[in-house]
C-alpha cells in the first residue's frame, strides 16, 4: 500500500497556498468537515489520517514506531516529500500540534506558519509547570481504557468535548474514538499523555499561532502562554470563546472565523 493510500490522503481546493490539516487523538480527517468548505476557493488543502486512526488499516500500525510522536512526525515529512511540497501552512489539532513542531524543528524551511489548536507539549504537571494531570489521573485513565474500552469512550467523550452525551459533537467524537482498535488507542494515549516536548520548543522557528479554548479538560489555558513564551519563533495567542478540546467540531461558528483570520495573518 502506498503512503497516500495508507493515510487516506486527499487534496482539496483550488488555491495556490497549501494548508496541511492534521487531526488529533481519537478523530480522523472528518474533524475538519466544517472548516474545509471555507478554504476550497483560496487554499489547496492536504487532508490525511494519522496512523492508528480508526479509518486507517490497523495492520500498518507499528507499536515500536509510534511509541513516541517522532514516528508521526516522520510520516508527516514523508507525505510532504511525496507531494513535493516546499512551503505550507500547517494546522495541527491536539497531539498533531507537537507532531508539527517536531517536523518543523527538523525541516523549518517547509513551514511558513504553524497554527496550533488545543496543543500541549506536556500533559503531566511538573515543578513550575501546570499540564493539567497528575500521574494518578493518567494511571486511572489507562486502567479504564484497558478494562472496558466501550464504557471508557462513553465517559471520556463528553468530558473532552465539554457537552452531554446527546450532543452531536459528543456522538461524532464517540464514533471516531470507538473506531480505533482498543489496544492501539491505549498505546497512543500512553505515548501522548506521558510525553514531554518542552525541550524542543526553542528549536521551533516558524511563526506559531496558538489557539486555545477558554475551557479544555485536556489542555489548561495557561499552556498556551507557556507555548508562546518558549517557542523559538514569533508567536501569537488567541483564547477562543468556546469550550472543549474539539472546538472546530463543537463551536464551528466561533472557531472558523478565527482560523480564517490566522491563516491570513502575519506576525
Residues 134, 126 contacting (CB under 8 angstroms): no
Residue closest to 94 by CA, chosen among 57, 127, 69: 69
Catalytic residue chosen out of the listed positions 7, 23, 245, 262: 245
How far is Cα 208 from Cα 211, in angstroms, rounded to an integer?
10
Catalytic residue chosen out of the listed positions 22, 23, 28, 94: 94
How far is Cα 147 from Cα 143, in angstroms, rounded to an integer?
6
Query: Does the annotation count 245 as an active-site position?
Result: yes
Strand partners, 116: 92, 210
Query: Does the annotation count 163 as an active-site position?
Result: no
Query: Does the annotation count 126 as an active-site position?
Result: no
Task: Determine whether 137 is exposed, middle or buried from the number of CB atoms within 10 Å of its CB (0-12, 13-18, 19+).
Answer: middle
Catalytic residue chosen out of the listed positions 118, 163, 216, 250: 216
Can you list the alpha helix ranges (DSSP code H) found in 83-134?
95-106
| Residues noted as catalytic | 94, 216, 245
Amino acid at each position: 500500500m502506498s503512503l497516500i493510500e495508507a493515510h487516506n490522503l486527499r487534496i482539496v481546493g483550488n488555491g495556490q497556498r497549501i494548508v496541511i490539516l492534521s487531526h488529533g487523538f481519537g478523530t480522523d480527517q472528518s474533524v475538519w468537515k466544517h472548516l474545509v468548505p471555507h478554504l476550497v476557493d483560496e487554499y489547496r488543502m492536504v487532508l490525511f489520517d494519522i496512523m492508528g486512526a480508526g479509518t486507517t488499516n490497523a495492520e500498518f500500525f507499528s507499536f515500536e514506531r509510534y511509541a513516541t510522536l517522532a514516528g508521526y512526525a516522520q510520516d508527516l515529512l514523508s507525505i510532504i516529500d511525496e507531494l513535493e511540497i516546499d512551503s505550507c501552512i500547517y494546522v495541527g489539532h491536539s497531539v498533531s500540534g507537537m507532531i508539527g513542531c517536531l517536523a518543523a524543528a527538523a525541516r523549518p524551511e517547509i513551514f511558513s506558519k504553524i497554527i496550533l489548536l488545543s496543543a500541549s507539549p506536556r500533559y503531566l504537571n511538573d515543578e513550575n509547570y501546570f499540564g493539567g494531570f497528575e500521574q494518578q489521573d493518567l494511571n486511572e485513565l489507562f486502567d479504564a481504557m484497558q478494562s472496558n474500552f466501550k464504557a471508557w469512550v462513553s465517559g471520556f467523550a463528553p468530558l473532552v468535548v465539554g457537552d452531554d452525551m446527546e450532543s452531536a459533537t459528543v456522538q461524532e467524537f464517540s464514533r471516531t474514538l470507538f473506531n480505533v482498535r482498543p489496544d492501539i488507542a491505549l498505546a497512543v494515549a500512553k505515548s501522548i499523555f506521558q510525553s514531554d516536548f518542552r525541550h524542543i520548543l526553542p528549536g521551533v522557528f516558524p511563526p506559531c499561532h496558538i489557539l486555545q479554548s477558554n475551557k479544555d479538560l485536556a489542555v489548561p489555558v495557561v499552556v498556551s502562554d507557556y507555548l508562546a513564551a518558549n517557542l523559538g519563533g514569533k508567536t501569537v495567542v488567541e483564547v477562543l470563546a468556546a469550550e472543549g478540546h474539539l472546538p472546530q467540531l463543537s463551536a464551528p461558528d466561533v472557531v472558523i472565523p478565527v482560523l480564517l483570520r490566522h491563516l491570513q495573518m502575519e506576525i
